[in-house]
Copies of this chain bind each other. A is one copy, B any other.
Amino acid sequence: MTNDKKLVMISNDDGVGASGLHHLIDCTRDLLPDADIIAVAPEGHNSGMSSAISVNSPLRITRRPDYNGASIYAVSGTPVDCVKLGIHAVMPRKPDIMLSGINHGSNAGNSLIYSGTMGAAMEACMIGIPAIGYSLLDHAHDADFTQTTPFIAKITRYVLNHGLPTGICLNVNFPAGCTPKGIKVTHGAAGRWTEEYEKYTDPHGRAFYWLTGNYVKENPDDAGSDMYWLDRGWASVSPVHPDQSANSEIPALAAFLDGGL
């Protein structure tokens, strides 16, 4: 691998000060000592922001102190704003790879669709940049990311060397509190969230709600799924695509709906 003067773009959804971002920069610096590493990340917490974009509000870019030889920029918007505006106004050229994370918390199962970490990776993918989202199944702000290092090196090196198919990016999740036993390429576990809100009463007697809930797997024994392997201490790599077109359904629908009233 030629690694001199690679340009690596990094973002996340936990914000520019998150330790997961710093660990991802450290991993990238170890792997690519001569690379230009530029992080463009949200000013604050953007968990659950999916592929949201700021349509009705302005965006600012603020330079922050460098970290481990990486340039750091904060954007007053969402993870996807960071990728779009970062490409437009910060990056000196098209990045060779885009890395998102390391997210503090899981993006396995159908959490993918809500994930700001993966929103950023999918945005880069749509721009034609090989992209990987990394997540650790530990929400703590001081989560221990050290055991992810060699796995991030292996997966990032693979993508730098081989690229990824057009329209495909990777959703990588690591188990918490252990050295992963290895890597399994998986699909997202089917399932859904239940008992989704806690209800409270404010000091003025008015109700308010806060999102919570448990993920219920449809097929707990699905040995091809990310959660199956994460539960057993493995790192999971799932190929995903931003494109949500369901092309195989077109003929059946067209038979009923195509034409005039």
A residues near B, CB below 8 A? 45, 47-56, 58-61, 78, 80-81, 84-85, 88-89, 110, 112-114, 116, 119, 122, 126-127, 150-151, 154-155, 158, 162, 165, 168, 170, 181-188, 192-193, 196-197, 199-200, 206-211, 224, 237-247, 249-250, 252-254, 256-261
Contacts and interface: CB of A to CB of B under 8 A. Distances in A.
Contact of A51 (B56, B114, B197): B114
A50 B52 CA distance: 5
Copies of this polypeptide in the complex? 2
A200 B57 CA distance: 13
B257 A88 contact: no
Nearest to A128: B192
A207 B60 contact: yes
A45 B51 contact: no
Given A50-B53, A259-B183, A127 B211 contact: no
A53 B211 contact: yes
Contacts of A211: 53-55, 59, 81, 84
> Dominant SS at the A interface?
mixed
A52 B55 contact: no
B47 A55 contact: yes
A72 to B, nearest CB: 17
A158 B259 CA distance: 14
